[in-house]
A and B are shown apart, each in its own frame.
Chain A
Amino acid sequence: MEEQLYIPGAASINLIKMKTTIEKNFQVDEPIDKVWEYLSDPARIVTCVPGASLTDTIDEDNYKGEVSLKFGPVKAKYNGQITFQERDKENYRMQLLGKGLDSKGKGSADMLMNGILVEKDGQTDVTCTMEVTITGMLAQFGSRLINDVSGSVFDQFVDNFRAKLAGQEVDNTLSAGSVIKGMFGKK
């Protein structure tokens, strides 16, 4: 680079982050070990994620799966890998990384989920954070919706997870209708 190169005073520009971070805390009336068993079992947890399914097991920590989403006219089906980056039974902490590529090459979605369980008077306190990053077509069309939609998807996940713990059947199909309705408060 030439010596006279001038780097103006401002260090950087403000870029919008197409990343959504959601944190949820909820209690379930179940013992901590049972909650942990469900939370750390890919077969159970993935089926609580709206629109998601497991397709293959690579090894104990790595799985293949897919997630379908629909935002109005935009349909996306992500094929990807789910990795348990952390499964610490001692401290009841887990971290799950999902990396998906749109099956038609139209973009990608990444999700990093952290779960921490704490025992409280026989109940279990669950703290979940979810970080969603979306690239491609969906990010373009749905930029203003991503926050709300992610929040709504997460709410459904929590509902499904509670239901699963209670031994109920879970329907995790996701429709645009449910997402949109959730966003506009017609629950």
Chain B
Amino acid sequence: MGHSIKRKEDVRFIQGKGHYVDDIQLPGMLHMDIVRSPYAYAKIKSINTEEALKIPGVIAVVTGRDLEKYNLHWMPTLMSDTQMVLPTDTVMYQAQEVAAVIATDRYAARDGKEAVMVEYEPMKPVIDPYKALDPEAPVLRTDKEGKKDNHIWHWEVGDRDATEKLFSEAEVVVREQMHIPRIHVASIETCGCVADYDKVNNHLTMYMTTQAPHAIRTVIALVAGHVGLTEEKVRVVSPDIGGGFGGKVPVYPGYVIAIAVSFLVGKPVKWVEDRSENLQADSFARDYHITAEMAGTKDGKILGTRFKILADHGYTDAAANPSKFPTGMFSIGTGSYDYQTAFMEADAVYTNKPPGGVAYRCSFRVTEAVHAIERITDRFAFEIGKDPAELRMQNFIKKEDFPWKSPTGWEYDSGDYHAGLKKAMEAVGYEELRKEQAGKRKRGELMGIGISTFTEIVGAGPSKDFDILGIKMFDSAEIRVHPTGKAIARFGTKSQGQGHETTYAQIIAEELGIPAEHIQVEEGDTDTAPYGLGTYASRSTPTAGAAAAVAARKLRDKARKIAAYLLEVSEDDLEWEPGKFFVKGAPEKAKTIQEIVFAAYTNHPQGMEAGFEATHYYDPPNLTFPSGAYICVVDIDKDTGEIKVRRFVAIDDCGNIINPMIVQGQVHGGLTQGIAPAMYEELIYDEDGNILNGTFMDYLVPTAVESPNWETGHTVTPSPHHPIGAKGVGESPTVGAPPAIANAIVDALSPYGITHLDIPITPYKVWKALREKGVN
């Protein structure tokens, strides 16, 4: 623990020896390509496959009518809504799957796709989520009996009346309307699968890009059990994954069609999306319209917050949240501040856009919540003329007040927010920067300093509240130590680049004293790994990492018994130091873990079970609450609106650190994915539902060129309830960075009375805002 050992998985990755879904080649494998809708909302009048079937190599074209015969044309979403696999009558968003072409090679499949003639009758789509609620708006989900509007659900938390009273009486109330833009995870590897159904043995092997292979196996069995694919007949394998970020949690229609076709023709079927399909049709993230309000006193005491959300879910609710939390963990949005009055409510609507709402490097809507609270906190500071750092210091929950109960029902486990912000301010040279800014303002130059001091909520989650489709959100570890003292460990999670093969080995090494290089970590094969809910929302270390520690401790207990037997002493007379047990007061009388394990196979005490293995399913008692203090400094060109991020200091507190190098790598990647929505990324639709940036030419993913020099550091406040005191870090930077950048830009523009700009804040938005304020 705490050592920056090199990532074990990189040996294969840096040599190009990773093994991804598209690397899989099976004998007789067929290829699938998907015909997609050019319209956001249209009736399908006819699908003519004649020309497509004439193309050499094309063997079939599958439509919704074909799937309907097997009752496979609709499927459930993770949020218990329904989603089309292939449409029979109506398409609901641009790029929706319309038909699948099956061919003997990928080129023929693509040619076949071009030759399928679909006749549509376009209809006027609902694109604006506000207009979706108009009484005269067309009802989109006519498939749902009795559905009379486009409203999906209402959610609320907190005390509505107390909050209303507070806001009507408060000295200071600030309010901003903000949009957290619809964005895409845009992982390097797109989604895909190879469905391999073996007719003789009635067995399906599904190789697929999934972050949650076990849950997928159960879902396949639940959906296809009626045609004989019961759970023991299904094996899901998730090979190496080139980035997931939440986008590889949902079940996409392509997977289901591939399974159906393989089942029908008895041959393996490969489907891999191209870049535009991935960007245009796969689950989006965010897209919350938030009215954020804060109430407080003139001298800077925050008294309460109120958030109202309109959530644009596209044509179905295919978000990936725990069942009981339609807005995910948005209720963490009261932030790092000590007040007890809050109310939040949300309404979700259907529109003619792709479905989604995935937890993009985010523990279920935490990014949206953190942006709202951190932006409105700065707005409040601006209103009363107080330095935003000073305001935060004044309102932080104090270190000694943990565990702290939030007004929305969470119990924050631990934190030291004052220490984090102090460290960030020292690192960036806050006082000096404010002096520099004052000088520049006199000269009319634009410089801004933005702060974000966020509290995260990760590690879903305790079984009393957390499940997905009824399956509790525990996670698991199984450790098997071989006679020679080397181990294999398997997990219910699935790395997509997080470095599990290294960090899990380090946890076990710490607990058992077996060197990390002799612990092989495996995930992603449901035939071998223990059941778990997968990797997303920074849950792997808090759940499976904890399971690894507890399973290792079970083995240590067994080791103690064997050592006592071998050394002929009482268990109570033994002491442990990593790697060996020794007799108290006689350190030369010792048995190493390797000697003990060997004995477990060759000379174990009579009556004791032979072998040396343990499994643990860890059900966390609480979530973990990582935090961070980020400070961003920007310079803005008044004439062009160009924004330069001059400095970015990120101080994270993720509890005890397993591998500092991996944490730093996670923070660098996460910050870059944080600058993305803050300055560049947004999926834009026109009023007809055309996506206007459906390729990487127009959808701007930041590259090394756009990334500033990230200055990282940490404070350590261990989680009191996690076995090794760790909290999780993968998503903190993605969650914390956008408001720091937005706050810095708005701070730079504040002398002109600009109090808010929606992200992504582009040079044009800045330029336009300045012109509107009369700056020429």
Contact = CB atoms under 8 A, between A and B. Distances in A.
A136 B40 CA distance: 9
Interface in A130-152: 133-137, 139-141, 143-144
A106 interface: yes
Contact of A140 (B116, B128, B130, B690): B690
Contacts of B133: 1, 5, 7
Contacts of B128: 12-13, 15
B687 A140 contact: no
Contacts of A107: 38-39
A108 interface: yes
B9 interface: no
Given A1-B151, A102-B38, A143-B692, A7 B130 contact: yes
A108 to B, nearest CB: 6
Contacts of A137: 38
Nearest to A144: B698
A128 B403 CA distance: 72
Interface stretch (B117-125, B505-513, B650-658, B745-753): B117-125
Contacts, number: 104
Contacts of A108: 38-39, 122
B131 interface: yes
A5 B39 CA distance: 30
Interface in B639-693: 684-688, 690-693
Nearest to B98: A105
A43 to B, nearest CB: 28
A135 B38 CA distance: 7
B684 A16 contact: yes
Interface string A1-31: 1101111111111011111000000000000
Most A Cβ at <10 Å: residue of B117, B347, B690: B690
Chain A CB within 10 A, most for which of B38, B122, B685: B38
Contact of A13 (B116, B130, B347): B130
Interface string B698-713: 1000000000000000
B487 interface: no
B1 interface: no
Contacts of A133: 688
Interface in A110-169: 133-137, 139-141, 143-144
Interface residues of A, number: 34
B148 interface: yes
Interface in B604-618: none
A135 B39 CA distance: 7
B690 A139 contact: yes
Contact of B129 (A13, A18, A135, A144): A13
A11 B310 CA distance: 12
B685 A15 contact: yes
Nearest to A107: B38
B177 A18 contact: no
B381 interface: no
Q: Identify which of B120, B129, B151 gathers the most chain A CB atoms within 10 Å of its CB.
A: B120
Contacts of B129: 13
A14 to B, nearest CB: 9
Given A105-B119, A137-B38, A16 B151 contact: no
A167 B61 CA distance: 52
B433 to A, nearest CB: 34
Nearest to B46: A105
Contacts of B308: 6, 8
Contacts of B560: none
Contacts of A1: 133, 148-149, 151
B291 interface: yes
B688 A8 contact: no
B691 A140 contact: yes
B130 A18 contact: no
B554 to A, nearest CB: 49
B258 to A, nearest CB: 23
Output the residue of A5, A6, A7, A101 with the most chain B CB within 10 A: A6
A140 B683 CA distance: 12
A135 B688 contact: yes
A136 B291 contact: no
A104 interface: yes
Nearest to B177: A10
B154 A4 contact: yes
B345 interface: yes
B38 A18 contact: no
A6 B40 CA distance: 26
Nearest to B175: A9
B686 A15 contact: yes
B686 A16 contact: yes
Interface string A59-70: 000000000000
B96 to A, nearest CB: 13
Given A105-B38, A137-B38, A5 B154 contact: yes
A6 B345 contact: yes
Interface core residue of A2, A17, A139 (most chain B CB under 10 Å) = A139
A49 B308 CA distance: 51
Contacts of A4: 154, 156, 345
A138 B46 CA distance: 22
B127 interface: yes
B296 to A, nearest CB: 21
Nearest to A139: B690
A110 to B, nearest CB: 10
A18 B688 contact: yes
A101 B154 CA distance: 40
B124 to A, nearest CB: 11
A134 to B, nearest CB: 8
Interface in A80-117: 101-102, 104-108
Contacts of A8: 130, 177, 289, 291, 308, 310
B114 interface: yes
Nearest to B312: A13
Contacts of B131: 12
A140 B685 contact: no
B38 A13 contact: no
A2 B130 contact: no
Nearest to B160: A4
8 contacts: A1-B148, A7-B130, A13-B129, A13-B130, A108-B38, A136-B94, A136-B690, A143-B686
Q: Which 5 A-B pairs have the closest CB atoms?
A: A136-B38, A139-B690, A18-B686, A105-B118, A107-B38
